[in-house]
Structure 1
Amino acid sequence: MTTSAHVKKPGWITVNVVNRFVAWLTRRGVSVWGSRVLAVRGRKSGQWRTTPVNLLTFEGEQYLLAPRGHVQWTHNMRAAGSGELRLGKHVDVFTATEVADDDKVPLLRAYLKRWKAEVGVFFDGVGPDSPDADLRRIAPNHPAFRITVQSRRVDK
């Protein structure tokens, strides 16, 4: 796996309005197109860090892809190897396995098919109908993790 420096930081509106609103809805059990709140331990602090994410289900497996590139949650996920996905009071505790760049093409295509309107700007003009070669070219810029749920719980 590559740890390229590719990252597209979110702007003020995304951080302070959009992400907070999606996280607020998701914490209340309303999934916006597959949204979850990802909780993962910080690689330096050990503290729980949360961010809204889109959970992709592809061929019976679940994945997290990072449209903005190698952002904080991806670094933390590599270090922790596990985390939680939250939707309302439902919590899935999972382990994560990073997907090799060569295996990302169908995942990127499925992700863009579902969320291009929301995140397409982060993929350098590559879309769900682009040739495999274009998807392969951008694969190193977008970390992907296969999620394996270990347990489920309902918080009170």
Structure 2
Amino acid sequence: MDASTRYIGPKGLDSVMNRFFNTLPRLGISVAGSRLLAVRGRKSGEWRTTMVNVLTAADGARYLVAPRGHTQWVRNLRASGTGELRLGRRVETFSATEVADTDKIPVLREYLKRWGWEVGRFFEGVTKDSTDDELAAVAPGFPVFALD
């Protein structure tokens, strides 16, 4: 599979679980720091939402990582460059800049430290303990955005 188009769609029980977990942030419930990401569709202009984990690094920088690859929300965020993070009635607008593959390694490692238990299956054997070379090899398949 070409890393620049890597996408792992929901299968079976994933779809049901996604609907359930996407409802929680709408109700103001955060699971391990989750938020509801809202981004305008690149073709329709309508708001599209999905649950994401917002990574806050030690230096305070914040990131969104796409463990399933080049998803629709990734494509929409690339097109718009802006979005919202929602939790209940709280809405935070942001702008985003995509992180270059060479700069993703520490972000991916930290993301796996925090949420490997949840998203590790999408990383196909790469873990928080993988070498920098192993993380660099898979980096193109995992879009990362820095939030401003």
Settle same-fold status: TM greater than 0.5. Answer: yes
1:115-143 C-alpha deviation (Å, 9 max, x unpaired): 11111011120000110000010100000
Q: What is the distance in 2 between the residues matched to 1:44 and 1:3?
A: 24
Match of 1:98 in 2: 98
Percent pairwise identity: 58
Partner of 2:73: 73
Segments of structure 1 that go 5 or more residues without pairing to the other structure are 149-156
Query: Secondary structure in 2 aligned to 1:4?
Result: helix
Larger mean Cα displacement after TM superposition, 79-88 or 3-12 = 3-12
Amino acid at match of 2:41: G
Q: Is 1:48 the counterpart of 2:59 in the alignment?
A: no
1:14 to partner: Cα distance: 1.6
TM-score (ref. length: structure 1): 0.90
Q: What residue number does 1:25 align with?
A: 24
RMSD, matched Cα: 1.3
Give ranges in structure 2 of 5+ residues lacking alignment: none
Q: How many residues align?
A: 146
CA distance in 1, matches of 2:3, 2:136: 16
Q: Deviations over 1:43-66 (max 9, x none)?
A: 111111001111111120111000
Q: Show structure 1 runs of 4+ deviating over 6 A.
A: none
Q: 1:16-74 CA deviation, whole Å, 9 max, x = no partner?
A: x2222222111111110111000001011111100111111112011100000001000
Q: Secondary structure at the match of 2:4?
A: coil
Correspondence for 2:84:
84
The equivalent residue for 1:136 is: 136
Q: Distance in 1 between matches of 2:22 and 2:90?
A: 14
**Rounded Cα–Cα distance in structure 2 between residues aligned with 1:37 and 1:55:** 10
Letter in 1 for 2:73: W
The amino acid that maps onto 2:97 is: T
TM-score in terms of structure 2 length:
0.95
- In the aligned structure 2, how far is the partner of 1:83 from the partner of 1:3? 25
Structure with greater strand percent: 1
